[in-house]
């Protein structure tokens, strides 16, 4: 059996280094958004020279993290099995998964590129299946119909961004963040009767 060619081995190494750098950068910058390129290289156990071979500056690194975050978000929604169970059960899985995803890529939510049209368009495309889940919940009678599916998705995104941005200050775990988002959202959109106030 022939040994892999030097070119093939080099390509494998390059791809592995890039993945390691992106993972380390996302984790390092989620802990400290002000971390330097040197900090990122150290977190990935690679040299600064290797880091700069992949990403010429901090901006190109952040752009690569954005792309990685969108790719992972799409896979995350697929893994949530949106068709299984009722709509509220599906939304709970979505909130839990996206909360963890958001904490990992917190740097993107902290410095969300709100004027980056391609990023925003791609984000809306990836999250659009949630709208169909909401419509199903409305058809099944579990979700209020006086709120548009688009508005409910907007509320979910806003809650997610706010919770992930503030999680370190409020010392919330990933599970706490997901539960708070879900409870707040469901209190607003569910048709279920709320508990009657206790009698004095």
From first to last of its 200 residues, what are the pLDDT tens digits of the chain?
Answer: 444 544 444 666 677 778 888 888 888 888 888 888 999 888 888 888 888 988 999 889 888 888 888 888 899 999 999 999 999 999 999 999 988 888 778 777 776 666 677 888 888 999 999 999 999 999 999 999 999 999 999 999 888 888 877 766 556 666 777 888 888 898 889 988 544 443 44
Say if residue 46 is in the same domain as residue 74: no
Say if residue 20 is in the same domain as residue 109: no
Say if residue 26 is in the same domain as residue 68: no
Say if residue 69 is in the same domain as residue 168: yes
What pTM, to 2 d.p., does this model score?
A: 0.76
Give the CATH number of the domain where residue 163 resides.
Answer: 1.10.357.10
Q: How many CA atoms lie within 13 A of 57 on its CB side?
A: 1
The total of other beta-carbon atoms located within 10 Å of residue 98's CB is 23
- CA–CA distance, 190 with 185 (Å, rounded to integer): 8
Domain containing residue 70: 61-189
Say if residue 151 is in the same domain as residue 75: yes
Contacts of 22 (CB under 8 A, 6+ apart): 64, 65, 68
Say if residue 91 is in the same domain as residue 152: yes
Say if residue 21 is in the same domain as residue 97: no
């Amino acid at each position: 059996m022939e040994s892999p060619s030097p070119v093939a081995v080099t390509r494998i190494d390059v791809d592995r280094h890039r993945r390691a750098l992106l993972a380390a950068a996302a984790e390092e910058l989620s802990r400290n958004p002000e971390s330097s390129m040197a900090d990122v290289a150290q977190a990935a156990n690679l040299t600064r020279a290797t880091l700069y071979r992949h990403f010429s500056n901090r901006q190109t690194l952040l752009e690569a993290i954005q792309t990685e975050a969108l790719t992972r978000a799409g896979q995350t929604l697929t893994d949530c099995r949106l068709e299984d169970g009722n709509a509220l059960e599906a939304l709970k899985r979505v909130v839990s998964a996206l909360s963890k995803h958001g904490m990992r890529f917190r740097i993107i939510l902290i410095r969300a590129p709100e004027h980056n049209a391609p990023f925003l368009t791609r984000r809306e495309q990836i999250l659009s299946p949630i709208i169909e889940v909401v419509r199903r919940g409305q058809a099944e009678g579990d979700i209020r119909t006086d709120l548009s599916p688009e508005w409910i998705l907007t509320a979910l995104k806003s809650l997610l961004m706010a919770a992930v941005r503030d999680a370190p200050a409020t010392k919330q775990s990933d599970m706490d963040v997901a539960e708070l988002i879900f409870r707040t959202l469901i209190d607003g959109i569910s048709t279920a009767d709320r508990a009657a106030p206790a009698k004095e």
